[in-house]
Amino acid sequence: MHSKINPRVIALHAICSVVLNKKSLADVELPLESTDLSFAKSLIFGTIRFYHHLNDIVTPLINKPLEKDNLDLHCLLLLGAYQLLYAGTPTHAAINETVSVAEKIEKKWAKGFINAILREIDRNHKQILTTEHFSHPSWMVKKLKQDYPDQHQEIFRENNKQAPMTLRIHPSIGRQNYQQQLHSIGIESEPCPNTKQALILAEAINVSQLPRFFEGSCYVQDASAQLAGQILNPKTGELILDACCAPGGKTTHLAELCTDARIVAIDSDQNRLTRVEENIERFQLKNIVLKQGDAHNKVWWDGQLFDKILLDAPCSATGVIRRHPDIKLLRKPRDIKQLVKIQASILDNLWTCLKPSGTLLYATCSVLKAENEQQIENFLQRTKDAQHEAIELDWGMGEIGRQQLPSHEFDGFYYAKLTKLN
């Protein structure tokens, strides 16, 4: 099969899966040798990242609407335009190699059509790139401008960058020690402010290159997500619930910070729980009990009240768009209303599982106020025994909880710490 040897054909199939079939990038299988895989991925992620800008350029240049069976050619034009405008691919390669894909997908007749449009884009590329375009869906642009009148442009810019690879170093090894180990094998990194275990790598690498990775030396996890364990600060003898725990990054962090705390970790998805199990095994942690359970109800609960609860709530993931650019295509405005309802329902349910004077930490990887500040304000209004507690960290902004916007060091993230009154 041609597709196995041509990274642009692979990229096209993946782009069509997201754009035409509304499939998540995480669910797209890439049948490629590792040497071509990184190139194919860079084309896929780049084209999806700048989809809205590329689409606004390509669409007006197609004189006659394409038939349904030929919409893959529209995606092929997006792929070519990305190479010309954003990827730094030499012009002849960007055009000729993309045109040749038409033949490989058995649409030889379209070669002239693809060639003509890509050459038109190339002629105007300077003008195109000097015209500001946020490359986000219009509903999201509107919402972010509303929520962040002064910071929305910075959010758009950060969302369109590639996220760094960040590690959480096991406390028994120590961050400085591991940084030196990395340096000795030519891997450069920098410690991340406000976090005790985070190292940001200068370049993303395969985890197999990391010293003792498979023995549990570190975990790939953004610095914002690492703060959950730091803020909750598990202590000896505490019973702690990690609700919606998959894939287990925060679960294993809580467990490694205090091996004498007992962690109950639940998730409703059995397949995702398998990943949590794999992570627990890699770290050889003995203080975690895994249960399949839905945080909306108490079917999974044995009735013992928790000292602390981490609720990493289902959310729009608008704070991690740089890691998952397909969110810009797949997320719809109606999803936000539904998510806000789900979050409120889970908050109300889990609150009754918390001890008096216990702490619940609410977390999302969203930047939308409806899911964060406003969600917590509404919860405090309807929950008389709940009290907001300030998070003492020089991180993020806000009066109710802390909201971090996407930046070089941190994903967009929100935390709110709630205490239950006696």
3-state secondary structure of 135: coil
Tell me 27's DSSP state: G
- What pLDDT does residue 1 have? 38
Q: Could you tell me which residues come within 8 angstroms of residue 372 by beta carbon, excluding any fewer than 6 positions away?
A: 364, 366, 401, 403, 414, 416
Buried b (16+ CB within 10 A) or exposed e, 44-70: bbbbbbbbbbbbebbeeeeeeeeeeee
User: Beta partners for 239?
Assistant: 262
1, two tokens: 């099969």
Q: 363 near 228, Cβ under 8 Å?
A: yes
179 alpha carbon, distance to own chain's centre: 25
pLDDT (0 to 100) of residue 132: 86
The verdict on whether 245 is a catalytic residue reads no
Residue 32: predicted pLDDT: 65
Q: What is the pLDDT of residue 355?
A: 98
Phi, psi for 349 (deg, rounded to 5): -65, -50
This prediction's pTM:
0.95
DSSP string, 315-367: ---TT-TTT-TTHHHH--HHHHHHHHHHHHHHHHHHHTTEEEEEEEEEEES--
Phi, psi of 404 (to 5 degrees): -100, 130
3-class secondary structure, 153:
helix
What's residue 30's pLDDT?
87
Strand-pairing partners, residue 266, are 291
Phi, psi of 290 (to 5 degrees): -95, 135
State how far the Cα of 182 lies from the Cα of 210, in Å rounded to an integer: 7
| Per-residue confidence (pLDDT) for residue 5, from 0 to 100 | 73
Distance CA 86, CA 166 (A): 25
Which pLDDT does position 3 carry in this prediction?
Answer: 43
Taking only the tens of pLDDT, the chain with its 422 residues reads: 344 578 999 999 999 999 999 999 999 988 766 668 889 999 999 999 999 999 999 999 999 999 999 999 999 999 999 999 999 999 999 999 999 999 999 999 999 999 999 999 999 999 999 988 999 999 999 999 999 999 999 999 999 999 999 999 999 999 999 999 999 999 999 999 999 999 999 999 999 999 999 999 999 999 999 999 999 999 999 999 999 999 999 999 999 999 999 999 999 999 999 999 999 999 999 999 999 999 999 999 999 999 999 999 999 999 999 999 999 999 999 999 999 999 999 999 999 999 999 999 999 999 999 999 999 999 999 999 999 999 999 999 999 999 999 999 999 999 999 999 98
Place of tokens 């959480």: 168
Catalytic option among 16, 192, 218, 365: 365
